[in-house]
Amino acid sequence: MAAARYHRELGNGFGATIYGDIGAGGAAIDWQVLATLDYAFRSSIFRSAIDLHAGIRSLNFDYTAERARFNVHMYGPIFSATLHL
C-alpha cells in the first residue's frame, strides 16, 4: 500500500488538503482520492477547537473470489468535523 497527503494553510483559519492511497491485498486493487477545504475554529473561551472539512471523495475497489466479483466505485461529497478538547 502507498499513500500521500498534502495540506496547505491558506490563512485566517482556512486550509486545503488532498489525500490519496492505492493498495492491493484481499482486493485486486483499491484506491481512493480525497480533496477538502478545511476551516479551524479556535475558541479561547471554551479552550477547545473544531476543525471542519468539506470536499469530495472517490473510492474504488475490485474484489474477485472463486465464483464472484465485486467491483465498486463510490464518489460524492464528504463533510466532517473534529472536536479538540
Using a cut of 0.95, tell me whether the model's pTM lies above it: no
What is the pLDDT averaged over residues 23-27?
72
Rounded distance between C-alpha atoms, residue 54 and residue 30, angstroms: 23
Dihedral in degrees, nearest 10, Cα atoms 33, 37, 41, 42: 70
36-to-10, 27, 69 alpha-carbon distances in Å: 13, 26, 32
pLDDT in tens, 39-75: 998 877 767 889 999 999 999 988 777 787 888 899 9
Share of the chain above pLDDT 70, in %: 95
The more confidently predicted of residues 38 and 43 is 38
